[in-house]
Amino acid sequence: MPFFCMGRRMTKYEMRQRGAAILIIGDEILSGRTQDTNTATIAKWLGLLGIAVREVRVVPDLQSEIVAAVRVLSARFDYVFTTGGIGPTHDDITADCMAAAFETGISYHPAVFEQLAARYATMNIGPFNEARQRMARIPFGASLIANSLSGAPGFQLGNVFVMAGIPAVMQAMLDDVRGRLASGRPLLSVTVSAYLGEGTIAAGLAQLQNQFPDVPMGSYPFGKDGKFGTSLVARDSDFYRLEHVRTALEGVIRDAGGEVVEV
Amino acid sequence: MPFFCMGRRMTKYEMRQRGAAILIIGDEILSGRTQDTNTATIAKWLGLLGIAVREVRVVPDLQSEIVAAVRVLSARFDYVFTTGGIGPTHDDITADCMAAAFETGISYHPAVFEQLAARYATMNIGPFNEARQRMARIPFGASLIANSLSGAPGFQLGNVFVMAGIPAVMQAMLDDVRGRLASGRPLLSVTVSAYLGEGTIAAGLAQLQNQFPDVPMGSYPFGKDGKFGTSLVARDSDFYRLEHVRTALEGVIRDAGGEVVEV
């Protein structure tokens, strides 16, 4: 397919992009059975560290799909965060896929195995059977990501952080990841809203965007109490510049005949 | 990058896959400001039509990213559904990106322009200014997707369905898309739950999965009333086979020492 090949060829000449990608692994997200919330959690958490999320992918529990996505994303971005597929059941294949993606081996990690064995022996949460032992399989060369909530760890392999799919466990793992990231200045945002249509503000907003080409600005419609309005959002890591932009956004709203409201 | 190139080379020999991809366009999703719900809505809707979602991507409001994703996904899957970026503001660039991805032109669609002009003239929702006129720009060769809610249409270009990002508007557009899809037998699912750990059921579930290799089965932990359990989910379009699998899943739970509960 020429389109396809063209897309592929382009990317060979691209530089690795600053920022992160998120890879959500699991049929339950693709089927709509489970509403993903990890993306928003990770994105907001990274935003506070000054790391922008550049792409998100959701892939099924299929080795070929997971491996291909990890390779592409880890080559393109500073960091990749995966969630899902590290439990004890047959559809939990993420650890094997990471080993395959990085062309390394995988086996039972002695310390993790011991730790999990002790946990199951003392906590009356079932036997430490073959299925649960699988959670101690860690690719060679990986460093562990502690799981303060339920024991079974995630791991970091290269620039890929492999975490659980259960939101509370995933969030516990983020605590152990923070220190490993080269964080920047936190990305701040300002929001200015008015009961005006997007189309009424669009020209003024575009003009302001041209004045500040490196401060991303967006406009998002909202409805409240039966009335419709628009929120203008700008993002930057420089507090003072952003306050300047806030004043300018308020000017855009007034010039369009509206007034700034809290929503 | 060898990994990257290998990933790329593989896909050249792949057949186009049955099923659909979803492409969510917008900085507000990547930043975590807005929680995406369109993915789950579209996935459940497609499930009822017997069409499985195979991949989801979220990309920023950047032409190069949108064009690359559309080309890859539309080559790989039967259908691609995009949401976001078709409003009146400067960051609404989806229509132009679709024209670029399909190497076609784009201009004001006369019928859409007239219809929107009439709407703004009669509905007291602001002037039909240059920004709002942009919503009438439709790529050459596209067919329109009606928007019964707010007027400005989506469009279909090849196997790509371009829809609004606002959930209610997106859902209104799905109504006009349904008849264009070659639907299969609806994908049905059964869920059987028990207050057992995933690891306790894993071996029995894996065995059952081996018996029915083409009926995808998954296991999902849940918490309820302070107790933890696992839901086993199987999917198939054959009602009778799925009922057979349901009985077998209940057997897996009983064999593991649990009892089936409603959650």
Alpha-carbon distance of A71 to B66, in angstroms, equals: 20
Residue scoring higher pLDDT (A64 or B11):
A64
The residue of A58, A125, A188 whose CB has the most chain B CBs within 10 angstroms, and thus the best one to mutate to test that interface, is A58
pLDDT confidence of residue A225: 86
Indicate if A11 and A139 belong to the same structural domain. Answer: yes
Task: Compute the distance between CA of residue A18 and CA of residue A32 in angstroms, rounded to an integer.
Answer: 31
Does the beta-carbon distance from A7 to B206 stay under 8 Å?
Answer: no
Quick one: A31 and A110 in the same domain? yes
Joined together, the tokens standing for residue B124 give: 């007291």
Range scoring the smallest mean pLDDT among A177-191, B35-49, B63-77:
A177-191
Specify whether A223 is located in the same domain as A250: yes
pLDDT of residue A16: 58
**pLDDT of B9 higher than 60:** no
Average pLDDT over residues B151-159: 96
Place of tokens 């439990």: A87
Residues from chain A contacting residue B40 (CB–CB below 8 Å): 32, 34-36
Q: Among the three residues B157, B180, B203, which one is the final residue of a domain in this structure?
A: B180
Mean pLDDT for the stretch of residues B37-56: 96
Contact between chains at A90 and B43 (C-beta distance less than 8 A): no
Residues A154 and A200 in one domain: no
- Residue that finishes a domain, picked among A123, A146, A180: A180
| Number of other residues whose CB lies within 10 A of the CB of residue A19 | 19
A198–B1: do the CB atoms touch at under 8 Å?
Answer: no
Q: Per the CB < 8 Å rule, is B55 touching A59?
A: yes
Same domain, A152 and A104: yes
To the nearest whole Å, the CA of A89 is away from the closest chain B CA by 5
Q: Could A31 and B43 be called an inter-chain contact, meaning their C-beta atoms sit closer than 8 Å? A: yes
Q: Which amino acid is at B30?
A: L
For A243-253, the pLDDT digits (tens) are 999 999 999 99
Domain count within chain B: 2
Same-domain check for residues A103 and A63: yes
CB contact under 8 A, A205 and B89: yes
Instruction: Indicate the residue among A180, A205, A227 that finishes a domain.
Output: A180
Q: B residues 83-122 near A, CB within 8 Å?
A: 87-91, 101, 103
The complex's ipTM works out to 0.87
Q: pLDDT tens across B202-252, in order?
A: 999 999 999 999 999 999 999 888 888 999 999 998 999 999 999 999 999
pLDDT score of B5 more than 50: no
A117 with A198, same domain? no
Q: For chain A, which ranges sit under pLDDT 70?
A: 1-17
pLDDT tens profile B87-146: 999 999 999 999 999 999 999 999 999 999 999 999 888 899 999 999 999 999 999 999
Q: Is B91 helix (H, G, I), strand (E, B) or coil?
A: coil
Q: Does A12 touch chain B (CB under 8 A)?
A: yes
- For chain B, percent of residues with pLDDT exceeding 70: 94
**Is B54 in CB contact (< 8 Å) with chain A?**
yes
Chain A, 122 to 181: residues with Cβ < 8 Å from chain B are: 125-127, 129-132, 134-135, 166
Contact at CB, A27 and B216, closer than 8 angstroms: yes
* Residue-wise DSSP of B215-244: S-EEEEEEEETTEEEEEEEEEES-HHHHHH
Amino acid at B100: A
How much helix, strand and coil, in percent to the nearest 5, is found in chain B? 45, 25, 30
Q: Is the pLDDT of residue B189 over 60?
A: yes
Q: B214: domain CATH number?
A: 3.30.70.600
Domain match, A42 and A161 both: yes
Mark whether A174 and A146 lie in a shared domain: yes
pLDDT value of position B2: 30
- Binning pLDDT at 50, 70 and 90, where does residue B7 land? very low
Q: Which two tokens stand for residue A130?
A: 């073959």
Same domain as B109, residue B46: yes
Range of the domain at A255: 188-261
Residue A174 shares a structural domain with residue A192: no
Q: How far apart are the first and last CA of chain B?
A: 48
Same domain, A122 and A226: no
Work out the burial of residue B224: count CB atoms within 10 Å of its CB; fewer than 13 is exposed, 13-18 middle, 19 or more buried: exposed
Give B227→chain A minimum CA distance, Å: 11
- Which CATH number fits the domain that encloses residue A108? 3.40.980.10
